[in-house]
Amino acid sequence: MNDFSHDNNCVAVWRFETAGITDDSKGTNTLTNVGADPELIIKKEGNQSARFIRANSDYMHIADTALDTGFPLKQSDGTSTRTDISGCFWCYFDVKPSVAVKNYALLCKYDYSFNGRTLMIRGEATSDKISIFIGYNGGASSESDYFSVSCDATNWYHVGFGYRASDKTYFICVYDDNASAALGAPLTGTFAETISLESASVSLGATGNPGLHANAYLDEVVVWNVKKSIGDIEKVRKGTYNYNEGGNLGLGLNTGLSFAMGG
């Protein structure tokens, strides 16, 4: 089982294990739940996952001002805002994104109702691929990139991402649990624009409006305020992540997979 207790850069772990399914087992970033249900059968880590149904407008959220100090991209931290971020989560599409059902927002700090674009990880309607968006121009505009391989419905995927503000580099890695292999080579790149730090809430299963609601199950959502490596994301997927602030324990860089690591 993953152990984040000694990792000071890990700021949130939402495992959806408690009755209210909103607790943060690492910090105090308790989510507000709007309709999502605990799921005991279709789950990947622990005893249950969270199910989000688009037709019911399900999602979870927490306001920017309610986030723990040091949570990445928290605008209300002012000049001390941490501008690097990485995260990972298990995702199972009940119905995969498509032109008919639109895009699925999965993990966001992004709001279309005002110039609140900061960061969004979503499933794409036109390609069924995982994408990363950042906001710029005071949150009025966005820049994005897309993973190379499409996802299917009724299959678990482990999605990891990272972004570093100083050099604008990012990555997305996706693992196909059914195939027991990486879905494709990691997406890596450098954005042209500088990310905007806006006051949008952090949300799961939709944007902050809310909008772009997902038909999906999510499990073990983890957030760091640094850009972790793809090797670290792989340790989380395997359930072997164990970090000691005095040094890395069990964070060997050999993941056994054939793709290059991000940094």
pLDDT in tens, 136-191: 999 999 999 999 999 999 999 999 999 999 999 999 999 999 999 999 999 999 99
- Which stretch of 97-101, 163-167, 248-252 has the lowest confidence by average pLDDT? 248-252
| Average pLDDT value over all residues in the chain | 92
Reported confidence tier of residue 100, pLDDT bands at 50, 70, 90: low
Reported confidence tier of residue 224, pLDDT bands at 50, 70, 90: very high
Which residues, in sequence order, are CB contacts of 151 under 8 Å at separation 6+?
A: 93, 96, 97, 123, 128, 129, 130, 157, 174, 183
- Provide the residue type at 113 as one letter: S
Tell which wins on pLDDT, 131 or 253. Answer: 131
For strand 181-182 and strand 116-123, is the pairing parallel, antiparallel, or unpaired? unpaired
- Yes or no: say if 65 and 138 are a contact pair by the CB < 8 Å rule: no
Which CATH code is given to the segment(s) 10-228? 2.60.120.200
